[in-house]
Amino acid sequence: MLQTFYNNFGFLGALLISTGLFIFFIFWISGIAGITELPESPSKKWKIIFSALVPPYPIIWLIIDMYKQHRYMNTDTN
């Protein structure tokens, strides 16, 4: 797979694409881990299934959750 990237995009392109895919995978797994830590609710099971089948969902959830925590921490200190 890396050889195909290298043949099509060159060294720098292959490096950027493989690094981007790796980071996407890490964020996907950390988003799923964050969703599994939610309090028990009827929708939790469906959120976990949906996050495993649709990789952008846990990444978007992770970014939104980080933003909410950032706002909570800023309002807490004021």
**Where do the structural domains in the chain lie, given as residue ranges?**
2-77
* Report field, pTM of the whole predicted structure over 0.85: no
User: What tens digit of pLDDT does each residue of 11-28 get?
Assistant: 999 999 999 999 999 999
How many residues does this entry show for the chain? 78
Residues 6+ apart with CB under 8 A from 31: 51, 57, 58, 59, 61, 62
pLDDT, residue 77, reads 60
pLDDT, residue 62, reads 92
> Among 10, 57, 68, which Cα is nearest to 31's?
57
Residue 76 binned pLDDT confidence (cut-offs 50, 70, 90): low
Averaged pLDDT of the chain: 90
The count of C-alpha atoms lying within 13 angstroms of the C-alpha of 42, restricted to the half-sphere facing its C-beta, is 0
